[in-house]
Amino acid sequence: MRFAILGAGMSGILSAIKLRAAGFDDFTIYEKSDRIGGTWRENTYPGIACDVPSHLYSYSFEPNPEWSHRFSPGSEIQAYFEGVARRHGVTPRICFGAEVVSGEFSGGRWHLETKDGRRDDVDVVIAATGVLHHPNIPSIEGLDRFGGALFHSARWDHAVKLEGRRVGVVGTGSTAVQIVSAIVDRVAKLSLFQRTAQWIMPQENPAYSEAHRAEFRRRPEKLHQLRADTAQLFAAFSNGLVDMNSPQMKMIEDACRANLEQNVRDPVLREKLRPNYRAACKRLVMSFDFYPALQKPNAELVTEGIERVELDGVRTRDGRLHELDVLVLATGFRVDRFMRPMQVIGREGLRLDTVWAQRPSAYLSISIPGFPNLFMLNGPNGPVGNFSLIEVAELQIGYVMQLVELLRAGRCREISPSTEATQRFETERTEAARKTIWSSGCRSWYLDDRGVPMSWPWTFDRFREEMAAPKLEAYELS
């Protein structure tokens, strides 16, 4: 069989390694950019780091004794993926600058075409296209009229000097929090434009000493034990999110509330920073230095809504002009895109855009009725709520490889989930989602057009169980 892997980020590299380990060597990775890395290639803003501990945000088969911190910076993560791809011989199999724009299933195969006109016919497609790579540009009047430097956080312009400049940041999610903490001491004035306050989980980020790293190199079993212990703690924390009344949620809320009360001195600023929803309703923001950064003399929290952007800065609804030299849009991503804008056509001309007209959905976040031999990693409705997406992807590719084995064994030539199984899963998922913390009363990127959380609504243990072996009665084999 011939395979195509779409994307050379974390999941694409993983897919290539696992295909090769299973004895499949006829595959090509199609990557739209000129480098691997996905999210970590796209995002290079000051202060970028992962909010999952580094020893858990690593492949289980490639532990890294060299992480510098508990939550290591983005440049280290990018270098880690580059090193893994190189060591496993993945890099030569990547077709760079090859954005797949269409894929059509006919005659039992997928027929792919890239933006530059290349074509490929394959038996199986693994879509490792990621979630956080289509920048969300807000519809603010006058963005095109700003006279200074303006860019999205995922398109950071490193040629723009920040020293001594007046910098505005729009947004208050994890990205904005990291940027503010990283640049406040470099700029003359920092204005953070807040639409919605965020709960901040106090999370220290200690460095690993050279002695620590030497011990990890000398005794790999200690590294494995650290990963296992971290996974256990993280799972307990994450499992609490799927029950808004869980004891874990109370501990999280108490910690966030104490962080605000104890570390923001000015009572007026404290109330501006106090959310009117429960902690973790939005993706929980981890930081130990955001509150101190925002209390620097050159920092200002702006809570008046933005009226428009003008030549000299941002005009808020109270009529005030905030004069700026640089404006950063830390406004997140279009998380409903997945494979799109690629045109995907399944059996009998069935279009993905039609199937996903209301919202994206997939059976167990991996596959879609009517689109045989097409598998997604970190697709719709998967565990994205403060889980390690590497751990998620490893479980998913293990599940996918079991389906692929059915093809190799000749049990079938085409495999896709049934409409009935997918609808049943979606009904159960939607009902369970209403009990999670993400349904407790806030606006967030987790919510779909109905206000229903798009994330996996059960425990991570249940996800492991589902991924252990496919239930073949849920699939159509032909």
- Residue 133 DSSP class: T
* Total Cβ atoms within 10 A of residue 15: 28
pLDDT of residue 233: 85
Whether 52 and 175 share a structural domain = no
- Range of weakest confidence among 188-197, 301-310, 336-345, 381-390: 381-390
Closest listed residue to residue 334, CA positions, set 130, 196, 52? 130
Two tokens, residue 25: 């060597």
- Side chain identity at 198, as an amino acid letter? Q
pLDDT, the chain, mean: 95
Task: Give the full edge-to-edge strand order of the sheet including 100-106.
Answer: 119-122, 109-114, 100-106, 343-345
Strand partners, 180: none
pLDDT of residue 183: 98
pLDDT of residue 386: 63
Closest listed residue to residue 273, CA positions, set 196, 182, 175? 196
Two tokens, residue 358: 């209301």
Q: Does an H or E element contain 177, and which?
A: helix 174-183
**pLDDT one-digit tens code per residue, 231-266:** 888 888 878 889 999 999 999 999 999 999 999 999
Rounded Cα distance between 373 and 417, Å, is: 10
Whether 303 and 160 share a structural domain = yes
Strand partners, 111: 104, 121
Q: Is residue 219 part of a domain?
A: no
Strand partners, 152: 329
Whether 156 and 124 share a structural domain = no
Q: Does an H or E element contain 124, and which?
A: strand 124-127
Whether 253 and 148 share a structural domain = yes
**Which of these three, 298, 329, 360, is where a domain ends?**
329
Buried b (16+ CB within 10 A) or exposed e, 252-266: bbeebeebbeebbee
Question: Kind of pairing, strands 27-30 and 94-95?
Answer: parallel
Rounded Cα distance between 163 and 40, Å, is: 25
**pLDDT one-digit tens code per residue, 380-435:** 999 876 678 999 999 999 999 999 999 999 999 999 999 999 999 999 999 999 99
pLDDT of residue 240: 87
Position 330 pLDDT exceeds 90 = yes
**pLDDT one-digit tens code per residue, 212-221:** 999 999 999 9
Q: Is residue 381 part of a domain?
A: yes
Whether 266 and 171 share a structural domain = yes
- Side chain identity at 411, as an amino acid letter? R
Whether 320 and 444 share a structural domain = no
CA 150 to chain centre: 24
**Which of these three, 286, 301, 329, is where a domain ends?**
329
Whether 345 and 302 share a structural domain = no
Whether 261 and 342 share a structural domain = no
Backbone φ and ψ of 376, nearest 5°: -110, 145
pLDDT of residue 387: 76
For residues 267-285, give the mean pLDDT. Answer: 95
Contact 371, 347 (CB under 8 A): yes
Residues in the chain: 478
Position 116 pLDDT exceeds 90 = yes
Q: Is residue 226 part of a domain?
A: no
For residues 469-473, give the mean pLDDT. Answer: 98
The domain total for the chain is 2
For residues 35-46, give the mean pLDDT. Answer: 96
Q: Is residue 224 part of a domain?
A: no
- Pure H helices in 66-135: 74-87
pLDDT of residue 388: 87
Q: Is residue 223 part of a domain?
A: no
- Residue 22 DSSP class: T
For residues 34-49, give the mean pLDDT. Answer: 96
Whether 40 and 68 share a structural domain = yes
Contact 322, 310 (CB under 8 A): no
Whether 191 and 101 share a structural domain = no
Rounded Cα distance between 352 and 342, Å, is: 9
Rounded Cα distance between 322 and 315, Å, is: 6
Determine the structural domain holding residue 350 and report its residue range: 3-134+334-477
pLDDT of residue 144: 96
- Residue 166 DSSP class: E
Q: Is residue 220 part of a domain?
A: no
One DSSP character per residue, 392-415 reads HHHHHHHHHHHHHHHHHTTS-S-E
For residues 331-353, give the mean pLDDT. Answer: 92
Alpha-carbon separation of residue 228 from 94, 231, 239, 325, 399 (angstroms): 32, 5, 16, 47, 21
Whether 153 and 15 share a structural domain = no
pLDDT class for 31, splitting at 50, 70, 90? Answer: very high
Rounded Cα distance between 78 and 96, Å, is: 17
Whether 113 and 236 share a structural domain = no
Backbone φ and ψ of 72, nearest 5°: -80, 155
Q: Is residue 217 part of a domain?
A: no
**pLDDT one-digit tens code per residue, 43-78:** 999 999 999 999 999 999 999 999 999 999 999 999
For residues 90-105, give the mean pLDDT. Answer: 97
For residues 18-45, give the mean pLDDT. Answer: 97
* Total Cβ atoms within 10 A of residue 271: 12
CATH of the domain at 283: 3.50.50.60
pLDDT of residue 335: 79
Q: Residues near 82 by Cβ (< 8 Å), separated by ≥ 6?
A: 36, 37
Rounded Cα distance between 278 and 440, Å, is: 7
**pLDDT one-digit tens code per residue, 174-199:** 999 999 999 999 999 999 999 999 99
**Which of these three, 303, 329, 355, is where a domain ends?**
329
Q: Is residue 216 part of a domain?
A: no
Position 131 pLDDT exceeds 90 = no
